[in-house]
Structure formats: structure tokens, C-alpha cells
Structure 1
Amino acid sequence: MSASDVELDQPGQGRLAHAGPDHPPVTRAKVGVVLANLGTPDATDYWSMRRYLNEFLSDKRVVDYASWKWQPLLQGIILTKRPFSSGKAYRSIWNEEKDESPLLTITRDQTAKFAARLERELGDKVVVDFCMRYGNPSTDSVLRRLQAQGCEKILFFPLYPQYASPTSATANDQAFRTLMKLKWQPAIRTVPAYFEHPAYLDALAASVTETYTAAESRPDILVASYHGVPKRYLMEGDPYHCQCQKTTRLLKERLGWDDSQIVTAFQSQFGPEEWVGPQTVDHVAELARQGHKHIAVISPAFASDCVETLEEINEEIRDSFLHAGGEHFTYVPCLNDRDDHIEALVQVALNELGGWI
């Protein structure tokens, strides 16, 4: 069925041109766009955190060890203790007014601005929503909701500028799992890595310039901190590490800086195997010992501020720098719902919607 097969009786609904009078109303065909983010626990209590961490750490894209080896460790030890420490970290940044994580608040705000901007461009041809890979709103529920609204084509947009198996790939996997269960699958496209897009780089550079202008003194060096992955992933063909390095280089060029003013590091390491480095928490301490008194840290791999930025960077990594002798620490916020960031996301989406609208 296409849009031309439907004769409209009322906005959004109608009847099939060739159907009999007793055929139920059908929804006019539309295109959906889903902004997909990492995820969020529903609350910070032990059981909410345990459910969230179990879903996250049971994902084979995140921890790809054999289940017989990993699950007893996860269920018997890690999920007994880690919900307490993770809950404490989330409580330190929790949006008490809305009783939700900052990631959920920011993603909702991004989606509202994105939808408004896309509507100005395309009118009511596109339906916009957002989902989480882990937690709520779930990918499955959102895709089904869009299909119920008449979306026969869906653009699935993981909010990760750089591609990585534990982020972009697992988000796409979850979308395709829903399709596997549907009798009538919508056509679906996934948005590729967009770290090279000029509008994204412009927004990233503008955020640095604005933060530096507002700082009491100019930082000696900018640390571009990306979420970490095991080094094995790089050797097995995951392009993430290379795309992170290129993002730093492109940002440096946008800012007109030299190599001494920006470095790349990686955060959030866990487990015994070797990870890509240097590790941010250690590297900022080394910068302090080298005599750098003021540094700034930015997180180009995150489209939205979350526990990894608001707690890990702005608390743990900040403390590591200050305890090693540093004096001033400046955090450059994620792009969040900045207008230039939303414009970049819209430009990426419009390109990927080519031929559908």
C-alpha cells in the first residue's frame, strides 16, 4: 500500500481506494525518524539499577565473553555489588525535578527541537520519536508506536557520531530484533557515523570556543575523552578508535590549533584485558605532573551529557587531575540541545531521507 492508495476521510486516516465500504480505516503512510540513545535506569534504587545493568552488561555487543563464563560472574558477583555504586553515581546527577536521568531529559529536549526543525523543513510528512537501547522508552515500543501511526518507512538514527560495535551496532541490532517479530515490516534505514559532517564539527568547535571564552583563564590543553573499548575490538576491525582519532584531528583543524593544544584519551575501562588508551583518568593526572595547571575536557563521542560525562568526567576525572597537582579543570558540555547541534542532526537526517520524501 502506498499513500496514493488511500483516500483521506479525515486528517491522518482514510480508506483504501479499492476497498469495500466495510473495510476498517487505515492510517495514511508516513515516514518515521527515531533518535536512539544509549539508555537510562528508571530510578536509582537497587532493583532499578540491577535491571538496567543486567540488560546493559548482558548485551553481547558490550561484553562478548562466552555466556557460560560471563553470566555466573555477572549474576553472582557484579550485579550484587555494582547497583549500589552505580546508583550512587546516578543519584549525584539525577534530575530530581523530573525524577529521571539527565540523559532522558536531554534526549527528550533534543527530540522536541529536532522534530520542530524537521517539521519546518518537511511539514507533517515525518513523525519523530526517540528510544533507548537499554531501559525506557524501549526501541521495540517506539518502533511499534511509529508503525501504528502509519510509518511504513523508518530512519533509525543512533546518536553516536563515531561508529562502534557496543554503541551504534547494538542500537541497530535492537531495531532489527523488533522487525523480526513484525508481520508487516516497515522499510528501515540506519544512519551511519557522522563525525566528519561539517555541521557537526562546526557545532563541536563552537562549543569549545564558547567554553574557553567563558573560562577565567585559558586551559593549557584540551583532552578529547572518548568512551573506551578493548584493544581487541580495533584489531578485529571495529573502526571506532580510528574515527575518534580523526575526530580530534578534524576538531583541531576547525579550531586552527596545533598538536600541542589537544590530545585524545579514552575513559570507562573495566575488566582485565587491554583497552585502547591512554586512559583519561590516568592521563589527566600525568598532565598535572607535567606542569599543566589548567586543562579542559570534552566528550565528542557523546551527543548528550550522561553519567559518563557528568559524574565520571566532571567528578572522578576532575578529582584525578586536581589531586595530582592541577589547579583548574574546565568541562566542555556535550552538544546536547544546542541549536547548532540540532541543525547538524537535521542535516544528517535530511541526507539519509533522500528518495523517501
Structure 2
Amino acid sequence: MNPTQQLHALGQSLWLDNITRELLTSGTLARYIKEFTVTGLTSNPSIFDHAIRNSDFYDAGIRKKAAAGKSGEALFFELALEDLTQAADLLRPVHDATNGIDGWVSLEVSPLLAHDTAGTIQAAEQLYAQAQRPNLFIKIPGNAAGIAAIEASIFAGIPVNVTLLFSREHYVAAAEAYLRGIERRLAAGLDPKVTSVASLFISRWDVSVQGKVPETLRNRLGIAIGMRTYKAYCELLATPRWRQLADAGATPQRLLWASTGTKDPGAPDTLYLEALAAPNTINTIPEKTLLAFADHGAVKHALPLDGGNAETLLAEFMQAGVNPTALAAQLQQEGEQSFAKSWNSLMACITSKCTALT
């Protein structure tokens, strides 16, 4: 088995953190699914901005939609769903074979709705209905406004990928929202099987403290946060509350490692994949990281259920002046701002291409 197959055998899903029309039309995504056991795919505004801005693969579609009177967000979501529904269909055999646990793609609501609960709920419902695919997640941020939208969307039967989580506490809040949504469905006599994942961002922790902590702690903060959160994830799945929901037919909200491409050029390019191997989790990775891991990655051990040395490491970071709680809030806010900036760039790109092509 190659390293990606070994990771799959351990029980961790590998999802590609990329989508372009070229990936689809060239057969590259189909090859990754076959050769590297890729079982899912995620997208975000930055990925689509790069794909549309730096190729002509979308030009014909933009020209046609603009001529039909489409513009801005409406035009973009049609383009994005053309890609994502095709990817969802490629992954549908995986989805069916795993009884809906795997084989997912993800589409994000507009980041401009990050503090608009009602707007997020409405957008999630509209986009999921527009996609007409059972294996498409709607990405909703796990901030204060997003938590209520997550619960409401789960109750409405919409699969949710909770994004922009940066700490154990962020994860627990997202998990609680998921549980409440499922409990409300059961109380209403509805099917409790609504799938969700909770995406914890890893590498941004290490970028944020680079050069500010002792060299012995370099590139260790994100992994420590991951280990701490994995312990909370395992503990939640052992609670009577969850077991009761599982007995009624609910499926676990799986923990997903996001932002796991290595940002430090002095660190191994497979750092976060090797460190965060764990059963019943997902790692969503850039294409470059996927190819690197397939080439020279190693599956050495699985994460300890008890969090390992996470608390010891985090105590060392606190002694070095890092406050994980405050930094998690800062990183989430910066993430919101970054996604909004990418969204505005994407909308400007769409407008510019509409003008040039018509």
C-alpha cells in the first residue's frame, strides 16, 4: 500500500482541498480517487478565485450566464455548483459504499454572511436545494452567529461542514449545535441521520507564533491544539447523550483537520498528515501536500485518545506568552476577514470577466 492507502486503512479520510474545472475535465480528480484513495473534496472562495482568475476554463460559462442576465453571487454559485456537482457525482460511489459517511464535497455560503444568522440559514437552504446532490456539504462558520445557523440547518436536514474552528472550545460549541439539531429532529419525528463535519484549522496556529516562541516549540502549537481537540471529540462520542442519538440512527459529526499544508519551508511538507493520523477523522489537504504524502509520507502511529502530551505542550506555550483562548478568537476573526477578502476579490474577478467577455 502507498502512504495514502495506509492512512485510509487506519480509518482516516483524505479529502482534497482544491477544485478547478481542469482537475475535473483532465481526469486528474478521478485519478486521485483511484490511486490515492481520495474520498472527498472541499472548496472555499480563495480556491475558486484562483481557479477562475488564472484560467480560461470558466470563460465560456461566464459569457453564457452573463448574456442570460446573471451576475455577481448568482453567477458564481452556478459556476461553482457545475464543478461541485460533477465532483459529487465522481465521489457518489464512495458515498454509497460508506452509507453516507464519506464521499462528500463542500460549498461555502457567502463569507459576507458571517455575522448574519438568518441570512446564513436562508443561503444554506437555497444552495443545498440548488445542488440537488445528497453528498454536498454547506460550509458554515463556527462563530457566534454561525452556531445558531448550524443548529437550524441540521434541524432542516441540511448537511453542514462547520468551518473556521480553531480550538477545543470552538469544536465543542459546534458539536453541541449539531447535537441540538439532531435532538430537535428526533423530537419532531424526523430522521436523525443528517451528516456533518467539524473543521479545525491547524497550520495557522504555527504561522501566528512563528518567531515569537522558543525554537523547541516551533511548529508544535497546531498539533497540540489538534490533540487536545481530538481528546474532546473522543470523549463526546463516549457520552450517554451521544450513544442515545446513535442508537436512534444518528451518525457522528466527524472531526476534520483543515489548513494542513505546511507553511514553514523549513518543516517537512508532510508534517501535519503524519502528526494527525487518527481513526474516524478527516484530513483535507492541498494538492501539493497530497502528492508529497503519496510520494514520501509515513503513517507511524495514531493520535492517542487521551490527548497525549498536548496539555504539557500548551503549558509551555503559555509560559512563552501565548494565550490559546485569546489567540483562537483572534485566528477565527482573521479567518473571517481573510475569507471575506477572498470573496470580494472573487466577485471583482467575476465582474471583470463578465465585462471583458461580453
Whether TM-score is above 0.5 comes out as: no
Q: Which has the higher strand share?
A: 1
Higher RCO, 1 vs 2 (CA within 8 Å, ≥6 residues apart)? 2
The structure having more radius of gyration, on CA atoms, is 1
Q: Which has the higher helix share?
A: 2
TM-score, normalization: structure 1?
A: 0.28
TM-score, normalization: structure 2?
A: 0.28
